[in-house]
Amino acid sequence: MTEQRRVLRTEIPGPRSRELQARKTAAVASGVGTTLPVYIERASGGIAVDADGNQLIDFGSGIAVTSVGNSAPRVVEAVHKQVEDFTHTCFMITPYEEYVAVAERLNELTPGSHEKRSALFNSGAEAVENAVKIARHHTGRQAIVAFDHAYHGRTNLTMALTAKNMPYKHRFGPFAGEIHRVPMAYPYRWPGGPDVCADQAYAAFTQSVETQVGVDNVAAVIVEPIQGEGGFIVPAPGFLKRVADWCAERDVLLIADEIQTGFCRTGDWFASTHEGIVPDLITTAKGIAGGLPLAAVTGRVEIMDSVHVGGLGGTYGGNPIACAAALAAIETMRADDLCAAAQRIEATMRPRLEALAAKYEAIGDVRGRGAMLAVEFAERGSAQAAAMAAACHKAGLIVLTAGTFGNVLRFLPPLVIGADLLTEGLDILDAAAGEVL
Ligand code: PLZ
């Protein structure tokens, strides 16, 4: 395991990373950006080591993926064993136990005690695509309702579901049809203020769907229980429960996209639980497999099994190595109680972020849950968030930005980060605020 200590040997990025970035520019399509062009050679716990020997504190987890830490011991062991046993057969041709075991775990761990089935895929976007396929097939309807500030991926259908134009959709159309957008109950930016947000957003949702889409045309409503790329927007209390009840009363399916919020990130296995909702279908990815590419759709048996044999699949979906990693990652979350770890991270971070917000007028909101926390700047431009991120990067702290207006600084530390590193990261953030705000 890498020594859990921040070390700066060169400026960030250092000479070796700059060399590699020049090679990247010459070889990799420029549409694939890099937030912080330090080239990583090793990582574990809360530390990433770059090509110049700098050791950075990780408050990003590769966008909420390495919740169990990079190269988590159980994951490494399981992957080693699997890679020696076999690497691929294609589950649709000759199956294997690991896929079935991941489906069993997902059926058990996702919200609701009803009977479930799961199907495995490679990426979050692919899971969302399949959730929509299944919802349309089962209901015989086509319309999908998505929210302002939503992020669901970069493929054609998921671009249509994603709200933000730049950089995700700009000049990539035409987009898939039958996607309808409604307002999100976003307390901090709600025109009438947070107190009326849930009521008014719910009224806007029902009115828009009932008058513009037609309830009988709607297959599903898709929502992130905390919006991720959109800026860690926690819906106004009670809003999602009312949307879920509205769906249930009309046989409209509720799809929870828990790709970013899932697997202990918010202090529970899934963020839907905090909202008191039981989705009909749930999409997962990211944190599921400790860094290996795996995604899933899990849902009610009658919905999942409505699809004809052969209607779902893909060459690599549920690859055995990714499945072995997922079983080990899930075992780590369970055995080491990483939901409690996420709650402890919040207990340390939230008061520090609130103190920052009290000190600097530029910070308008502190929000999130568990180890998925953010500050939003009052100004809608991205300048302050970008300057804060740059100052943190320079000091050896990996942080990410987000938000429709690019003005959110978000924190997604690995759930296994040590208390000392967490505090040191927050001290760096304080210093950056002193410099920038
Ligand atoms: N749904 C809720 O957060 C991925 C995307 C980063 P993939 N979020 C990070 C970027 O700029 O591409 C995400 C998500 C939610 C779906 C997805 C898509 O998951 O595994 O990236 O396809």
209 and 60, same domain (yes or no) = no
pLDDT at 1: 82
98 and 51, same domain (yes or no) = no
Which atom of ligand 1 lies closest to the CA of 227?
A: 2
In a domain, 347, yes or no: yes
Distance from C-alpha of 245 to C-alpha of 58, rounded to nearest angstrom: 39
- The CA-based angle 335-336-339, given to 5 degrees, is 105
In a domain, 9, yes or no: no
In a domain, 190, yes or no: yes
Ligand 1 center–CA 295 separation, angstroms: 11
In a domain, 387, yes or no: yes
* Beta strand pairing call for 218-223 and 179-182: unpaired
Ligand 1 center–CA 212 separation, angstroms: 29
CATH number at residue 163: 3.40.640.10
CATH number at residue 43: 3.90.1150.10
150 and 254, same domain (yes or no) = yes
195 and 103, same domain (yes or no) = yes
In a domain, 148, yes or no: yes
366's tokens: 């502190």
261 and 407, same domain (yes or no) = no
pTM of the model: 0.98
64 and 96, same domain (yes or no) = no
Residue 222 belongs to domain spanning: 74-335
Distance from C-alpha of 192 to C-alpha of 209, rounded to nearest angstrom: 21
pLDDT at 244: 98
| Count of domains observed in the chain | 2
301 and 393, same domain (yes or no) = no
287 and 380, same domain (yes or no) = no
Which atom of ligand 1 lies closest to the CA of 257?
A: 2
Ligand 1 center–CA 347 separation, angstroms: 27
DSSP-based three-state secondary structure for 104: helix
279 and 412, same domain (yes or no) = no
120's tokens: 């495995």
Residue 177, C-beta contacts closer than 8 angstroms, at least 6 positions apart:
160
In a domain, 175, yes or no: yes
Pocket of ligand 1 (CB under 6 A): 63, 123-125, 128, 151-154, 224, 228-229, 257, 259-260, 285
273 and 158, same domain (yes or no) = yes
Rounded to whole angstroms, what are the CA distances from 102 to 107, 109, 170, 318, 379?
9, 10, 37, 9, 44
Burial class (CB within 10 angstroms; exposed 0-12, middle 13-18, buried 19+) of 29: exposed
The last residue of a domain, from among 294, 316, 335: 335
The one-digit pLDDT tens for each residue of the chain (437 residues) are: 889 999 999 999 999 999 999 999 999 999 999 999 999 999 999 999 999 999 999 999 999 999 999 999 999 999 999 999 999 999 999 999 999 999 999 999 999 999 999 999 999 999 999 999 999 999 999 999 999 999 999 999 999 999 999 999 999 999 999 999 999 999 999 999 999 999 999 999 999 999 999 999 999 999 999 999 999 999 999 999 999 999 999 999 999 999 999 999 999 999 999 999 999 999 999 999 999 999 999 999 999 999 999 999 999 999 999 999 999 999 999 999 999 999 999 999 999 999 999 999 999 999 999 999 999 999 999 999 999 999 999 999 999 999 999 999 999 999 999 999 999 999 999 999 999 99
302 and 371, same domain (yes or no) = no
79 and 57, same domain (yes or no) = no
In a domain, 331, yes or no: yes
In a domain, 5, yes or no: no
The last residue of a domain, from among 335, 360, 384: 335
Which atom of ligand 1 lies closest to the CA of 295?
A: 20
Sign of the torsion formed by the C-alpha atoms of 106, 110, 114 and 118: negative
The last residue of a domain, from among 313, 335, 357: 335
